[in-house]
């Protein structure tokens, strides 16, 4: 039996599903005229109310896929140079300075407290919170606020308490504290954050500056001639580009850009320079084999207690899978107190061990935490 041909949406041949959301699927597709692979977001309008429909300006917008998704944050993409691009603006609000917004937009784990409270809010302030969630996720491999359901997630966001992993640098922790502040008026601004020490580490002579969108080249004769050979007229090409119509004609022109690593051509990737510096600076960390296991949490706790005892550490249970640990004498420079928690890792069928410093210097904490982590046999 001959397999049916892949379905099409306009000039895009749909290949396979690469992501799913509450109201949409993202398909890997190929633009048949240029051969370029793109991501096409297909939104089920029957699932949307009238308010949501107004915030979904153009379904099925193709985004060039010359990059691969990050493993934990699905709406972040990496290009060939490891620059991060923000790729999902399926439901978004237009913000005018001086006016407040009042509708819930965005994915709940990235949503600021004021959204969960149903308050009117300022666009930049909730975006700062979301950037803080992204930073935490990039550094730790997990979300700062999570829950089994929306009610549990809301409660944790409104408490504003999150764990600082033992491997996170003090500078990175201080930057997070500028992002994840419950009071929106006290959060850092993008300008302040771009001057932050951690954001510019290793690039002190090239301080992060606001990104300026380059002037697009709408008069490339090479691309125009290619499109004419495809059947487009010069008039409709020029009309689409000058009028910024973002229709099929303009999409084809943009997909023919010879700069294969530039994915900002559709105007949806707003923080290219900012996120480029982000990825240059972030502490590269993944859960190591030393702190992850398929063992049951109870077995992991027994191994943790055994290693703590071997290193003259004291511990007492705080919650079911949380231990309060201490090493050294109180009042001494080497004294450190921390929490160890056995928890399920997001989207992985493994359990992990999280460390959180409570008291003591960062260096003393890192020394004992690293020693304990390295000796665990999980």
The C-alpha torsion from 177 through 339 and 336 to 359, rounded to 10°, is: 40
Q: Residue 331: CB partners within 8 Å, gap ≥ 6?
A: none
Half-sphere exposure of 286 (CA within 13 A, CB side): 6
The correct answer on CATH 1.10.8.10 for the domain covering 221-259 is yes
344 is in an annotated binding site: no
The CATH number assigned to the domain with range 67-203+267-286 reads 1.10.510.10
Give residue 261's pLDDT: 35
Q: Which fold has domain 292-375?
A: TATA-Binding Protein (3.30.310)
User: What are the sequence ranges of the domains in the chain?
Assistant: 1-65, 67-203+267-286, 221-259, 292-375
**Nearest CA-CA partner of 80 in 64, 67, 71, 63:** 67
CA distance 69 to 84: 10
Give residue 54's pLDDT: 60
H or E element at residue 158: helix 150-159
Give residue 189's pLDDT: 92
pLDDT means per 10 residues in the chain (378 residues)? 70 82 77 83 68 54 44 63 64 75 80 91 91 89 88 94 86 94 94 90 80 80 92 93 88 76 35 40 39 83 93 89 90 87 69 84 84 86
Question: Are 354 and 287 contacting, i.e. CB atoms less than 8 angstroms apart?
Answer: no
Give residue 325's pLDDT: 93
């Amino acid at each position: 039996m001959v397999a049916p041909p892949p379905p099409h949406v306009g000039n895009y041949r749909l290949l396979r599903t690469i992501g799913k959301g509450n109201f949409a699927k993202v398909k890997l597709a190929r633009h048949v005229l240029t051969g370029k692979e793109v991501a096409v977001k297909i939104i089920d309008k029957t699932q949307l109310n009238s308010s949501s429909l107004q915030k979904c300006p153009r379904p099925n917008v193709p985004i060039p896929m010359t990059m691969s998704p990050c493993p934990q944050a699905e709406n972040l993409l990496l290009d060939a140079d490891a620059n991060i691009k923000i790729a999902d603006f399926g439901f978004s609000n237009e913000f005018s300075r001086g006016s407040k917004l009042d509708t819930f937009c965005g994915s709940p784990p990235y949503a600021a407290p004021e959204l969960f409270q149903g308050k009117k809010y300022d666009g930049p302030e909730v975006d700062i919170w979301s950037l803080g969630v992204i930073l935490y996720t990039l550094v730790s491999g997990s979300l700062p606020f999570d829950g089994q359901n929306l009610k549990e997630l809301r409660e944790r966001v409104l408490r504003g308490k999150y764990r600082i992993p033992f491997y996170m640098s003090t500078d990175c922790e201080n930057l997070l504290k500028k992002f994840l502040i419950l009071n929106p008026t006290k959060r850092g601004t993008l300008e302040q954050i771009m001057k932050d020490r951690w954001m510019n580490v290793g690039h002190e002579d090239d301080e992060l500056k606001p990104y300026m969108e380059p002037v697009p080249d709408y008069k490339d004769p090479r691309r125009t001639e290619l499109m004419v050979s495809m059947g487009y007229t010069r008039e409709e090409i020029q009309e689409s580009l000058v009028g910024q119509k973002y229709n099929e004609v303009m999409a084809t022109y943009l997909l023919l850009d010879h700069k294969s690593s530039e994915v900002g051509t559709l105007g949806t990737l707003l923080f290219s320079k900012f996120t480029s510096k982000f990825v240059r600076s972030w502490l590269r960390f993944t859960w190591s084999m030393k702190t992850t296991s398929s063992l049951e949490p109870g077995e992991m706790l027994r191994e943790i207690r055994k290693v703590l005892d071997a290193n003259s550490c004291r511990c007492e249970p705080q919650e079911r899978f949380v231990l309060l640990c201490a090493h050294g004498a109180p009042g001494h420079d080497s004294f450190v107190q921390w929490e160890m928690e056995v928890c399920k890792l997001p989207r992985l069928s493994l359990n992990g061990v999280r460390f959180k410093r409570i008291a003591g210097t960062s260096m003393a904490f890192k020394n004992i935490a690293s020693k304990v982590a390295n000796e665990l046999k999980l």
